[in-house]
Structure 1
Amino acid sequence: MFFPLTVRDFLDRAVTVYPDRVAVVDEPDQPAPSWGEITYAELGRRARSQAAYLDDLGVPHGGRVAVVSQNSARLLTSFFGVSGWGRVLVPINFRLAPAEVKYIVEHSGAEVLIVDPEVRSLLDTVSAKHVLVIGESDEPMWETHGDPEPWEEPDENATATINYTSGTTARPKGVQLTHRNLWTNASIFGWQASVDDRDVYLHTLPMFHANGWGMPYAVTGMGARHVVIRKIDGAEILRRVERHGVTFMCAAPAVVAAVLDAAKTWDGNIPGRDRVRIIVAGAPPPTRTIERVRGELGWEFIQIYGLTETSPLLTMSRMREEWEGLEPLEQARLLGRAGAPAVGVRIMVDDTGEVLARSNHNLHAYWDNPEATDVAQAGGWFHTGDGGTLEDGHLTIADRKKDVIISGGENVTSIEVEDALMLHPAVREVAVIGVPDEKWGELVTALVVVDPDAGEVSADDLIAHTREHLAGYKCPKRVEFRDELARTATGKLQKFKLRAPYWEGKDRQVN
């Protein structure tokens, strides 16, 4: 028997098995009226109403519905109300400039545009056939419609979402993810992350980013509770962990740093100790950060590696029984690797050092971009653009290939230098880049944000510190102090912006 896998399977199970259980605790402090607490039966009803509303608008199966919103119960519902009845959800980063949003809406061909009231100004320049503002003109979509027209022939290979890459180096590309892609990612990720019906999930990750890594589906399918948080603040995360009994969350390294900072002044025991597991991705976190999460917070640290194009799960690094006798520093070092391939994922490192991947949740294609699709999937493997090594069944990411610094003829991995600098107690954040230099070709340069509570530290102090951990040629030749570092909405360092002033006027970005 063949039965097509679709994202509605996750909602249907929750409605069948857990109808009276609280499904979602919506963000209470938002410009639109909060939904408060709703059950899985109510979540299912509102998803059906949304699908029926789209029927009334004449949006066909395969039609695109774009949503620009911070985390909210309405956005969570749209993962099912749009895709679950055969249409395509286009979740858009709410921090993008109007011109960027306009490009995505037009490039995707979205017929419906739903926007958060905080970004209503987008509508001055961005439009679609049907435009709705959350909390205002969208209410009939959730409340007044009955059952939608059935999706007569569900297709697991149909596109369920189009997720646009961050566009940090070029025009964003629309990543077409199918129902099969999202189903296998959510199921395998949920299984390996131990998601069950006792869990309480805090949405510290933007839902627009790779569909919240698939957790809207995985958490729903297991009947666990979603707790929506709209704006990220370290102390507020701790408060919600305490208030709602949160058991796990997903986060970029910058969010982890915010929680660790808030924990310094937290009054009383850190909430969630020996209960919370935090799943981190976006960049390999420093070893010291992993140590602090496990020691200062008492939370389990899990790292994954993947990309929007891989739905995203490729590898997972989680504590193993074999490591229990090791020192905490060594455990943290091992957990700092990208991890072992997830079930059903094949990983290879090619002759150039690039990480290649095969899985059931690799993208179908880039939307309306066959040339980029062919390049990314050349040879039947997805080309990640990341450099790494595979040893003892575990992947370590060395760098984005374009971020490798060639200094004095030697390749320097910026992540390794950043990790060494983060071992210094005064360093709060760091980005290591190569800048042009007549003598060295590229000069290893560290841009550092210091912890204001750590006392005075000089550039010479930090350079001397790295010499205790790294070969001399890897140590930064220059250290510059910054108040902040440019990051994307998901916490990734925007190194192209950090490098730009140094390379201005250069024909090439290598020296």
Structure 2
Amino acid sequence: MREVWLGEPASIDELRSALAEALDGGPTVLPLDARDPSAEKLRAAMAPDQPVEPGTAVIIATSGSTGEPKGVLLSVKALTSSATATHDRLGGPGRWLLATPAHYIGGLQVLVRSLLAGTPCAVVPPGPFRPDVFAEAAETALRGEGPRYTAMVPTQLTRLIEAGGAGLDAARAFDAIVIGAAATPPKLREQAAEAGVRIVPAYGMSETASGCVYDGVPLDGVRAEVGEDERIRLSGPVLAHGYRLRPGLTSEVFTGGWFRTGDRGRFRDGKLEVIGRVDDVINTGGVKVSAAAVERVLAGCEGVRESCVVGLPDAEWGHIVAAAVVPDAASATAPAADRLRAAVREAAGPAAVPKRLEFVASLPLRGPGKIDRASVVSGIFGHAIDTKPEDGVHSGA
């Protein structure tokens, strides 16, 4: 197993070189973030001194929302099938800009795609995302012939649109920007279209070697189905072949050529629509409320940039609905709590109305753009975390 510690710009070149060797049958690659305080714990959990499961080219290590280390095992076939299908969907191999951390699957796949395309990969320097730095890094990717692509999370796109200027101009110049790691709100889709930015929302995770459903349509070779319980299942050559040293969990979620996700979905007009997590249902006073449904209502309200809805333990109700809301800095009208509650009441019913509503400057994140719900519960609302087992490591553009 070859460990690659990321944090300095030069480490991306090291990772790209290691990936090239792994795709050619070389040592398994384990990318780690040198700036992450939990990285050593993750490394130890991956047991680098023990033999690697056969056929593993890359291990994506994560602590997930529960804090329990987990390593997703990806083969050469899974990685290259995902990259090839992505190029086929977007318009052919092209030049890529890496704008998300490469130790997560969304960033790592940008490097794999550039390797298969035989093109150099431009890199946004590590650190807090800044539109001006993005614009400078994009100059390299936008030179030369052929399609130009990048991948980012919704928060990054929002900042580019709000800032305008050179960053937004650079975003407009890409033939496609794959948006993943978290749901793309309808409002952000509209803003991107109005700004002339060509985005492709993607759904996927480490277990599917990054995004495998683009704008609701599975990539070539990928199948998606929704059971009676609304749980999404995925199959195809992009699937991982298990979890590092976790045979029990592997057999639980990888069965018969299918991966059982932890997401709920439905098909609308022939497209897959993700409607929330299986475990995001809040039972409040005997009424089941979907946290994702409340978040969609709040996201559609004027003056709201993003929100996170969680259930908090309550002696009377069992759980209450609580919402952390980030106001939209670009909006001329600040959201009013009463107006937001009224919108939820009208769209989702009285039980869904947040009994606690907090306005915050930002939401805590884990990974590239994914809201850390456990930190919302403990940090914003000051409650002990009631952890639940996590089915998958959800991330990926």
TM-score range, shorter chain: 0.7 to 0.9
CA displacement 1:150-205 (0-9 Å, x = unmatched) = xxxxxxx7210111134221422111111111121111122112233xx3321112
- Structure 2: how far apart are the matches of 1:506 and 1:302? 34
* Aligned-residue offset at 1:486: 0.9
Tell me: CA distance 1:268–1:344, structure 2 relative to 1, closer, same or farther (3 Å): closer
Where does structure 1 lack aligned partners over 5 or more consecutive residues? 1-63, 112-127, 129-156, 318-338
Q: Are positions 1:371 and 2:248 aligned together?
A: yes
1:253, 1:281 within 8 Å by CA — same for their partners in 2? yes
Out of 431-440 and 486-495, give the one that drifted further: 431-440
1:73, 1:228 within 8 Å by CA — same for their partners in 2? no
- Structure 2: how far apart are the matches of 1:269 and 1:309? 32
Q: How does 1:101-500 map to 2 (within 5 A)?
A: 101-110=39-48, 158-196=55-93, 199-210=94-105, 212=107, 214-231=109-126, 232-241=129-138, 244-245=141-142, 247-263=148-164, 266=165, 270-273=169-172, 275-296=174-195, 298-317=196-215, 339-454=216-331, 455-467=333-345, 469-500=347-378
Larger Rg: 1
Higher strand share: 2
SS of the aligned residue for 1:366 comes to: coil
2:208, 2:240 within 8 Å by CA — same for their partners in 1? yes
* Aligned-residue offset at 1:279: 0.7
* Aligned-residue offset at 1:69: 0.4
* Aligned-residue offset at 1:354: 1.3
Query: 1:66 maps to which residue?
Result: 3
* 21, 26, 29: which one aligns with 1:89: 29
- Structure 1: how far apart are the matches of 2:386 and 2:39? 30
2:45, 2:70 within 8 Å by CA — same for their partners in 1? no
* Aligned-residue offset at 1:301: 1.5
- Structure 1: how far apart are the matches of 2:205 and 2:59? 14
- Structure 2: how far apart are the matches of 1:250 and 1:507? 33
Q: Counterpart amino acid of 2:203? A: Y
Query: 1:31 maps to which residue?
Result: none
* Aligned-residue offset at 1:440: 4.1
CA displacement 1:374-421 (0-9 Å, x = unmatched) = 111145421111111134432111112122223343333322322222
2:96, 2:141 within 8 Å by CA — same for their partners in 1? no
Q: Percent identity at matched positions?
A: 26
The TM-score with structure 1 as length reference comes to 0.67
* Aligned-residue offset at 1:85: 4.3
Out of 393-402 and 81-90, give the one that drifted further: 81-90
SS of the aligned residue for 1:395 comes to: strand
CA displacement 1:83-130 (0-9 Å, x = unmatched) = 534210001134421xx322333333436xxxxxxxxxxxxxxxx9xx
Q: Counterpart amino acid of 1:288? A: K
Tell me: CA distance 1:271–1:250, structure 2 relative to 1, closer, same or farther (3 Å): closer
2:378, 2:385 within 8 Å by CA — same for their partners in 1? no
Q: How does 1:13-52 map to 2 (within 5 A)?
A: none
- Structure 2: how far apart are the matches of 1:507 and 1:385? 17
- Structure 1: how far apart are the matches of 2:386 and 2:133? 46
2:132, 2:166 within 8 Å by CA — same for their partners in 1? no
* Aligned-residue offset at 1:474: 3.2
- Structure 2: how far apart are the matches of 1:272 and 1:452? 20
Tell me: CA distance 1:402–1:269, structure 2 relative to 1, closer, same or farther (3 Å): closer
1:407, 1:443 within 8 Å by CA — same for their partners in 2? yes
Tell me: CA distance 1:243–1:359, structure 2 relative to 1, closer, same or farther (3 Å): closer
- Structure 1: how far apart are the matches of 2:224 and 2:254? 14
Where does structure 2 lack aligned partners over 5 or more consecutive residues? 389-397
Tell me: CA distance 1:108–1:279, structure 2 relative to 1, closer, same or farther (3 Å): same
- Structure 1: how far apart are the matches of 2:31 and 2:166? 38
Tell me: CA distance 1:271–1:212, structure 2 relative to 1, closer, same or farther (3 Å): closer
SS of the aligned residue for 2:24 comes to: helix
* Aligned-residue offset at 1:302: 0.5
Out of 88-97 and 234-243, give the one that drifted further: 234-243
SS of the aligned residue for 1:273 comes to: helix
RMSD: 2.8
2:66, 2:387 within 8 Å by CA — same for their partners in 1? no
Higher RCO structure, 1 or 2 (CA under 8 Å, sep 6+): 2
* Aligned-residue offset at 1:467: 4.6
- Structure 2: how far apart are the matches of 1:433 and 1:474? 11
Query: 2:392 maps to which residue?
Result: none
